[in-house]
Chain A
Amino acid sequence: MNAYAKPLPRTDVDTQPFWDGCKLHDLRAQRCSDCRRFRWPPQAFCPECYSWKFEWTRLAQTGKVATFVVVHYAAVAAFQPDLPYVVAHIVIDGTAGRVEIVSNVIGCPWQDVKVDMAVKAVFEDVTPDVTLAKFEPA
């Protein structure tokens, strides 16, 4: 088996639970225990009410494309075989627009990707330790 050559996430104390969730094929984000707002990216306290109490919450596995680009030039050689590929900002359903994550939209021609398009998560176990949440048309 060829070694996975693309960059892998270097997790930290705040982000580890998100990546652990991906490994279980779950999308997760923090939710403030006081004001009940979701937040992204992961951080130790709520940026709205400054409460330090939160719980990691399982999210819907669907969302909408907020905006996107289509990469036709590989700045990193390992991505060359994937060209052209879509990098999208995806707002996860049920988070009041507060969880917007970057991922790839796969499973359709790049010309079909539009702003506001509905997508659903598909999980790729790229190494024994790392799973990436990608998206395809819903």
Chain B
Amino acid sequence: MPEQAIKDKTAIAGIGWTAFTRGSGVRTLTLAAEASLNAVADAGLEVQHIDGIVSYFHKRPESQEVRELTQMLGIKNCNFQLYSDGGGGWNCAAVLSAAMLVHSGVCKNVLVFKAQNRYSEGRAARAERVHDVSGPDQFTMPFGQHHAAAQFGPHATAHMARYGTTSLDFAHLAVTERSHAMLNQKAMMRKPMTVADHQASRWIIYPFRLFDCCQETDGAVALVVTSAERARDLKHAPVYIMAGVGGTSQTAGWWETNGINTAPQLYEGAGIAPRDVSIAEIYDPFTFMCMTHLEDLGVVPKGEIGPWIRAGNNRLDGSLPVNTHGGLLSEGHIAGLNHFIEAVQQLRPEGVVDDLCEGTHTYDRATCRQVRDPQIALLCGECVDSAMLLRKA
């Protein structure tokens, strides 16, 4: 497969976010608007420059749809809007959709956002849904499979049986991500965590303990995608979109995800190899899911993720820093679109702005989470149902 026609033709020009909390006290629409206005301002654009809007949801009640935001922002010319049900698998597909809209000429500047009151409204909404047991749910919910940990835990159990991966491996990933979050002003979880803390935490749904599970978060993030040409004249240096993929397909077994199907197309589309990746912001609703995603994306050989994590390869100064913001596990769960906020910050010339060091980055890991000179970022959503490569200008 040749390189994708969109390669380096579009860029992320602006990023914005709200506080990440357990109780926003405002409507999801207000969260969406706040993050979006921040992203537009960060790009150095005006609201009326936005002519396309993309978002996505897993379950509608705790998410913010697109039309209401278009109306609230008073956007006069919206040439295309899209609200997909792809859930956490769709973060990269949302940005890819924006890139395709811009490259095709349908839109000039596309806003991508994700807003949710998932902590304060999600639980009640889910409780109400329990007795709607139709479609595929009729074969799972009567048997007590109601929680995301029960949906994704089977992947982990199968990998443990096949490759010898353990809960202790999961612990090292959780601890490393927490150490990154401790350097992130917007992260929800900034208390130190040890491997012993993880191992002492209670079972939620075996093989996942409490500290294997991500946060439920109220908050929003947004970004602006525009053409590479326009981006070069805007406020910040562009972060180029190299290539992306999005779509589900089947695998041979529980021990692998759709990444084995999508990753080859992704790298070929960008004209690079997995070894060229400098940082990885990887969907991590549960520790193990991040681990299988890394394997299935081809940056770690299949079955070797446990030792790779234990050796610290995923740390800020490791061979491939992973979830440098703390991930869904410790920063917060904005359906993986928050991973883009981190990747863009890491790839801008000025680097991250919300760590604990001021002015020039020191690379002192007591205060600074900027990775040393990253060039290419790899991102993915749940089961690598979408993935993307970004590069520094």
A interface, CB within 8 angstroms of B: 6-12, 15, 41, 66-76, 79, 82, 84-85, 87, 89, 101-104, 110, 114-116, 130, 132, 134
Report yes or no: A69 in contact with B150, Cβ–Cβ below 8 A: yes
Stretch at the interface among B40-48, B204-212, B358-366: B204-212
A7 to B140 alpha-carbon distance, docked (Å): 10
A87 touching B158 in the complex, CB below 8 Å, given contacts A9-B138, A73-B204: no
User: How many residues on B have C-beta within 8 angstroms of the other chain's C-beta atoms?
Assistant: 36
B126 within 8 A of A: yes
Residue of B whose beta carbon sits closest to that of A89:
B154
Least Cβ–Cβ distance between A71 and chain B, in angstroms: 5
Report yes or no: B143 in contact with A102, Cβ–Cβ below 8 A: yes
B145 within 8 A of A: yes
7 A-B pairs closest in CB distance: A69-B153, A70-B206, A9-B138, A115-B161, A10-B134, A72-B203, A67-B158
Residue of B whose beta carbon sits closest to that of A130:
B142
When distances are taken between beta carbons in the complex, the residues of chain A under 8 Å from B149 are 69, 73
When distances are taken between beta carbons in the complex, the residues of chain A under 8 Å from B202 are 72
B356 within 8 A of A: no
Least Cβ–Cβ distance between A2 and chain B, in angstroms: 16
A12 to B322 alpha-carbon distance, docked (Å): 44
Residue of B whose beta carbon sits closest to that of A100:
B254
Least Cβ–Cβ distance between B124 and chain A, in angstroms: 12
Q: Which of B127, B139, B154 contacts A67 (CB 8 A)?
A: B154
Least Cβ–Cβ distance between B292 and chain A, in angstroms: 13
Least Cβ–Cβ distance between A58 and chain B, in angstroms: 18
B130 within 8 A of A: yes
Report yes or no: A41 in contact with B136, Cβ–Cβ below 8 A: yes
Report yes or no: A104 in contact with B144, Cβ–Cβ below 8 A: yes
When distances are taken between beta carbons in the complex, the residues of chain A under 8 Å from B134 are 10, 12
A10 touching B161 in the complex, CB below 8 Å, given contacts A75-B147, A89-B154, A132-B142: no
A79 to B141 alpha-carbon distance, docked (Å): 11
Report yes or no: A41 in contact with B154, Cβ–Cβ below 8 A: no
Report yes or no: B143 in contact with A69, Cβ–Cβ below 8 A: no
Report yes or no: B144 in contact with A82, Cβ–Cβ below 8 A: yes
Report yes or no: B254 in contact with A69, Cβ–Cβ below 8 A: no
A71 to B147 alpha-carbon distance, docked (Å): 9
Least Cβ–Cβ distance between B203 and chain A, in angstroms: 4
Report yes or no: B126 in contact with A75, Cβ–Cβ below 8 A: yes
When distances are taken between beta carbons in the complex, the residues of chain A under 8 Å from B253 are 66
B146 within 8 A of A: yes
A69 touching B138 in the complex, CB below 8 Å, given contacts A79-B144, A89-B254: no
